[in-house]
């Protein structure tokens, strides 16, 4: 029997399934990547049962152990690329921002992080022939900077569709789900609920292909002040980033996170030009882009680390119509 539902797993009855879902384990895949301790806490089962459930889920989901190179290649074949709206920016990224990856935009205030995020929430919805992913977007907004009016402006700035059609801002807004995060714990919880939301629309016309966290570090920075709390903060941030990476893998989605670096020296966190989150973010993010302001509408993106692309820079603009060359 093919295992599809939680209830299909040995040792999982309706009551246990219910408890698992309440705790955010809403699919066989999420159970497969859980630890026995997490399941014990979530479903009030014994350690041995938890291990058995996880083993069965891993087998069913075919995740957990080593994978052969050809399987990885198969999964990598599903990777989609979404346009930024600027050819030069896309070129820097080898054709656009990739799914199954975390892209970190870091830079000073006004460098264009939120603008790029808004543009990607739109472009993700475009058909593939226009550099889109034909999907929907989720935004975790920690700074209250999401602006539907800005989305509408940018949609009006899109080039016409393949059949010359114009685009309706309302339609785009319907496919962007936004939640405000009030503190870092709330932010972590919202990333877990995003998983539920994505699971629900997985087989719909608009599966979630983009999850934005803008900003991923602001709450952590505000709440964990002082050297003594650094380890704590990094541990929490690390867990959050791993949740996000799991989201990217399970949903073939792009994770776009922003991270402000301050112009003003910040004595607590050392070098002011280094992004907050330091090593934790650096090691988890697949692509790191440093954005900075240039003259007028011009912005410069520098690709800092990438697994398979040369470092380099691209110039793009943030205009009223959106991100352009
Ligand atoms: P923080 O969140 O403060 O760290 O900054 P950020 O990097 O997110 O900056 P954001 O993306 O919000 O960029 C704001 C800048 O984008 C503004 O200063 C403008 O230069 C530009 N911008 C925003 N809206 C418009 C617009 O409608 N037209 C034009 N031409 N530029 C805009
Ligand atoms: Mg911003």
Taking only the tens place, the pLDDT of each residue in 94-118 is 999 999 999 999 999 999 999 999 9
pLDDT tens digits for range 50-71: 999 999 988 887 655 677 888 8
State the number of CA atoms in the 13 A half-sphere of 108 facing the CB.
13
37-44, Cβ contacts within 8 angstroms, sequence gap of 24 or more: 43/12, 43/16, 43/19, 44/19
Question: What value does the mean pLDDT take over residues 197-202?
Answer: 94
Distance 296 CA to ligand 1 centre (A): 11
SS3 53: helix
What 3 state SS string does 158-195 have? CCCCCCCCCCCHHHHHHCEEEEECCCHHHHHHHHHHHH
The CA-based angle 205-150-153, given to 5 degrees, is 80
Residue 190 has pLDDT above 70, yes or no: yes
Q: Which atom of ligand 1 is nearest to the CA of 115?
A: 11
Instruction: Decide: 294 in ligand 1 pocket, CB within 6 A.
Output: no
Residue 130: pLDDT band (50, 70, 90) is: very high
Q: Looking at domain 6-61, does it have CATH number 1.20.120.160?
A: no
Q: Which atom of ligand 1 is nearest to the CA of 215?
A: 2
Residue 130 carries which DSSP code?
Answer: G
Residue 29: pLDDT band (50, 70, 90) is: confident
Instruction: Decide: 110 in ligand 1 pocket, CB within 6 A.
Output: yes
Predicted model pTM: 0.81
Candidate of 86, 105, 106, 112 to mutate for ligand 1, largest count of ligand atoms within 8 Å of Cβ: 112
Bridge-based pairing of strands 136-141 and 208-214 is: parallel
Which ligand lies nearest the alpha carbon of 299? Answer: 1
Distance 206 CA to ligand 1 centre (A): 28
Tell me what percent of the residues of the chain surpass a pLDDT of 90: 65
* Nearest partner of 236 among 226, 249, 223, judged by Cα: 223
Whose Cα sits closest to atom 27 in ligand 1?
A: 320
| Superfamily per CATH, domain 76-324 | P-loop containing nucleotide triphosphate hydrolases (3.40.50.300)
Q: Which atom of ligand 1 is nearest to the CA of 320?
A: 28
Whose Cα sits closest to atom 18 in ligand 1?
A: 110
Mean pLDDT over the full length of the chain: 89
Question: What value does the mean pLDDT take over residues 188-216?
Answer: 95
SS3 100: coil
* Nearest partner of 27 among 205, 206, 246, judged by Cα: 246
Burial 201-224 (b: 16+ CB within 10 A, else e): beeeeebbbbbbbbbbbbbbbeeb
Instruction: Decide: 260 in ligand 1 pocket, CB within 6 A.
Output: yes
Instruction: Decide: 306 in ligand 1 pocket, CB within 6 A.
Output: no
Residue 248 has pLDDT above 60, yes or no: yes
Q: Residue 267's pLDDT is what?
A: 45
Domain ranges, ordered by start, for the chain: 6-61, 76-324
Q: With contact defined as beta carbons under 8 Å apart, do 119 and 284 qualify?
A: no
Q: Residue 92's pLDDT is what?
A: 96
Check if 6-61 and 76-324 are the same fold: no
Residue 271 has pLDDT above 90, yes or no: no
Bridge partners (DSSP) of residue 176 are 137
Candidate of 145, 318, 322, 323 to mutate for ligand 1, largest count of ligand atoms within 8 Å of Cβ: 318
């Amino acid at each position: 029997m093919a295992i599809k539902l939680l209830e299909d797993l040995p040792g999982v009855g309706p009551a246990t399934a219910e408890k698992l879902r309440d705790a955010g384990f809403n699919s066989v895949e999420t159970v497969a990547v859980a630890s026995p301790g997490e399941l014990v806490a979530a479903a009030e089962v014994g350690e041995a049962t938890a291990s058995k459930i996880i083993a069965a889920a891993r087998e069913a989901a075919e995740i957990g152990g080593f994978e052969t190179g050809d399987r990885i290649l198969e999964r990598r074949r599903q990777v989609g690329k979404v346009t930024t709206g600027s050819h030069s920016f896309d070129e820097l990224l080898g054709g656009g921002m990739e799914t199954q990856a975390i892209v970190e935009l870091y830079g000073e205030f006004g460098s264009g992080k939120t603008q790029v995020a808004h543009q990607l929430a739109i472009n993700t919805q475009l058909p593939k022939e226009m550099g889109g992913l034909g999907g929907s977007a989720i935004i975790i907004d920690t700074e209250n900077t999401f602006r539907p009016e800005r989305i509408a402006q940018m949609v009006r700035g899109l080039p016409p569709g393949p059949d010359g059609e114009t685009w309706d801002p309302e339609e785009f807004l319907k496919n962007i789900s936004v939640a405000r995060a009030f503190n870092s714990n709330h932010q972590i919880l919202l990333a877990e609920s995003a998983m539920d939301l994505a699971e629900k629309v997985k087989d719909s016309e608009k599966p979630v292909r983009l999850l934005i966290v803008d900003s991923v570090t602001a709450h952590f920075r505000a709440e964990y002040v002082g050297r003594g709390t650094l380890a704590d903060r990094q541990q929490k941030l690390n867990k959050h980033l791993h949740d996000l990476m799991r989201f990217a893998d399970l949903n073939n989605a792009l994770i776009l996170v922003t991270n402000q670096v301050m112009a003003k020296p910040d004595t607590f966190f050392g070098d002011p030009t280094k992004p907050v989150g330091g090593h934790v973010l650096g090691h988890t993010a697949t692509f790191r882009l440093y954005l900075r302001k240039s003259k007028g509408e011009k912005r410069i993106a520098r690709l800092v680390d990438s697994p398979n692309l040369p470092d380099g820079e691209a110039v793009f603009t943030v205009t009223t119509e959106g991100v352009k060359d």
